[in-house]
Amino acid sequence: MRVLADRPLPRGVLGSCLVLLGGLVIATLPPSAAVLSIDPLVALRQTLPGRMVGLALVLVGLGLIAHAWLRLCREVSAAGADDAAAMGRGVAAARLAALAWSAPLLLAPPLFSRDGWSYAAQGAMTALGLSPYEHGPAVLGRAPVTEAVDPMWHDTPTPYGPLPVWLGQAMADRTFDPYVLVIGHRVVALVGLLLLAWAMPRLARWTGVNPAFATLLVVASPLMITNGVAGLHNDLLMVGLMAAALVVAAERGWAYAAVLGGLAAAVKVPGGAVCIGVALVSLVAHATLAERVRRLAACAAVSVGVLVGLGVLSGLGLGWVHALTVPGMVSTPLSLTTMVGSAVDALAGLVGLGTPPATFVGLARAAGMLGALGLTVWVSLRWPTGSRQQAVAAVALVVGVLVLTSATVHLWYFLWPLPFLAALPLRRYALTCLLALSVLLGLVAPLDSSLHGAYLVIVFAILLIALLLTVLLLTPSARGQVERIVAARWLPDGPVAAPADDGVRPADTAALLDRYRRPTPEQVTRVL
């Protein structure tokens, strides 16, 4: 296999640098930020043409990252499944790409969302003895640490668990500089990325998936770099702990895994869903209903104990329980239940039913919640036990449905099922969708709420995104590259040789797909 990082790696680094530079122009910054003493930067931020230049830099940078990622996916997926040395180099290349493409963004402000500034304010509140579960950042007044917090959340408590708040307090005990605090929170998020880089090859080996390819699909994807690293969301730490919990359950025992599941829930409550997979993988095959219930109860007891214990040790208590409804205060177009309910409410108004506003939104959200709960119970009690692949699939299903039925869905919520989907033996159409969605959800991240009302900028961004998507996914060369990635997904008979050029004729693609077969049991159990 060729040296994987020769061309994609520097291209992705260049893209990240452009995202950093453009992000300094378009991101919300507190007036006290030291970077605002740079006169050319201030000049760009204060004019519409300047902000459009910054947005263009960000989008071109994201396009370079996506192009580098797709190229690296092609090269990694073409490595022979029976070549352990090549697989090892591929895993190393995936990890190196994630590290190199994330490094420039370490110094960036929170991009495409202001959540990072809220994290900084919540840590400062806790350091001052004010519970973020009882007060919003507005309680701090006009302090520098609240200057960039989204006004929508000024007066609302935090819905996050005690772990990120406690870590934020530890940082705020040393400084109240908001920019330094958000960098510290990004370092915490990168711990989640490191956990994913450790766990993904192991999860992939359970299911016979190419470990290098599965790792690359997750840790260096545009979706991850944009929403996990640049966006600076707690979800990255939560997902890293979830993936690590599932691995530990099989390799070290369910009790240690339940501790990690409790830590994941202590970041965001949905992280505790991994305990279903922990219970399933740690049971013997064909476990009885009583054995399932006992193991599920034990996992729940340990994880809840960790969650409550963190609340006691940090002095934050269980206040986060009362704030769990905060995310549902906003409606997002990605929430299936909210959009369906809103459409029915609008229809009810047209036909004159006379129902109160948002009646059907509430019903749709409740139905989604009950549906997700019912599925979770069914998977817990009926899903096969003692199978590592089935445990991965169970977590992917439960977490995926949680995202689809949530009252509020943001782009970064799609990070939740990503590592578990990437570790499954997906059919070529599903894998193609995963590749395309990773690129799409990465590129559209700059269309966040900060552009509200800036219609010219929004139109410019949409046109540029459409152009980038065409180049990355829809040209003959791009489609050929994706087909090669998908065709090389399983290599039971050795590596599929790819032509030297970037184009694939339809006949070539058909020939490659004809060679596609599922792996043998021996290949499923092969380790690096």
DSSP structure string for 479-498: HHHHHHHHHTS--TTSPPP-
Looking at the 3D structure of the chain, how many domains does it have? 1
Q: What average pLDDT does range 361-377 have in this prediction?
A: 90
Question: What CA–CA distances, in Å, run from 248 to 12, 200, 235?
Answer: 32, 12, 20
Residue 73 lies in a domain: yes
User: Average pLDDT over the chain, rounded to whole?
Assistant: 84
The domain in which residue 280 lies consists of: 8-338+360-524
In the 8-state DSSP scheme, what is residue 453? Answer: T
pLDDT digits (tens, 9 = 90+) for 207-247: 888 899 999 999 999 999 999 999 989 999 999 999 999 99
Count helices and strands (H / E) in the chain: 22, 0
Residue of 419, 501, 457 lying closest to 217 (CA atoms): 419
Residue of 321, 306, 308, 365 lying closest to 340 (CA atoms): 365
Residue 2 lies in a domain: no
For residue 108, what pLDDT band results from cuts at 50, 70 and 90?
A: very high
Three-state secondary structure readout of 240-276: HHHHHHHHHHHHCCHHHHHHHHHHHHCCCHHHHHHHH
Residues 129, 130, 132: CA angle, nearest 5 degrees: 130
Query: Can you tell me the distance from the alpha carbon of 502 to that of 71, in angstroms, rounded to the nearest whole number?
Result: 10
Query: Can you tell me the distance from the alpha carbon of 243 to that of 236, in angstroms, rounded to the nearest whole number?
Result: 11
Residue 276, classified by CB atoms within 10 Å of its CB into exposed (0-12), middle (13-18) or buried (19+), is buried
For residue 399, what pLDDT band results from cuts at 50, 70 and 90?
A: very high
Scanning 352-471, the segments in alpha helix (DSSP H) are 359-382, 388-405, 418-422, 428-443, 455-469
Amino acid identity of residue 148, one-letter, is A
Give yes or no for residue 134 having a pLDDT over 50.
Answer: yes
In the chain, % of residues over pLDDT 90 = 46
49 vs 452: which has the higher pLDDT: 49
Q: What average pLDDT does range 449-466 have in this prediction?
A: 77
78 vs 21: which has the higher pLDDT: 21
- Three-class secondary structure of residue 84 per DSSP: helix
- Three-class secondary structure of residue 29 per DSSP: coil
Residue 348 lies in a domain: no
Residue of 55, 63, 16 lying closest to 470 (CA atoms): 63
Query: Can you tell me the distance from the alpha carbon of 310 to that of 228, in angstroms, rounded to the nearest whole number?
Result: 24
Residue 369 lies in a domain: yes
Question: What CA–CA distances, in Å, run from 113 to 172, 243, 335?
Answer: 21, 25, 18
Residue 353 lies in a domain: no
Q: Which residues contact 450 (CB under 8 A, 6 or more apart)?
A: 26, 27, 28, 114
pLDDT digits (tens, 9 = 90+) for 13-37: 999 999 999 999 988 898 888 888 8
Residue 259 lies in a domain: yes
In the 8-state DSSP scheme, what is residue 228? Answer: I
Q: What average pLDDT does range 126-134 have in this prediction?
A: 88
For residue 519, what pLDDT band results from cuts at 50, 70 and 90?
A: very low
Residue 287 lies in a domain: yes
pLDDT at res. 335: 84
pLDDT digits (tens, 9 = 90+) for 88-106: 888 999 999 999 999 999 9
Residue 115 lies in a domain: yes
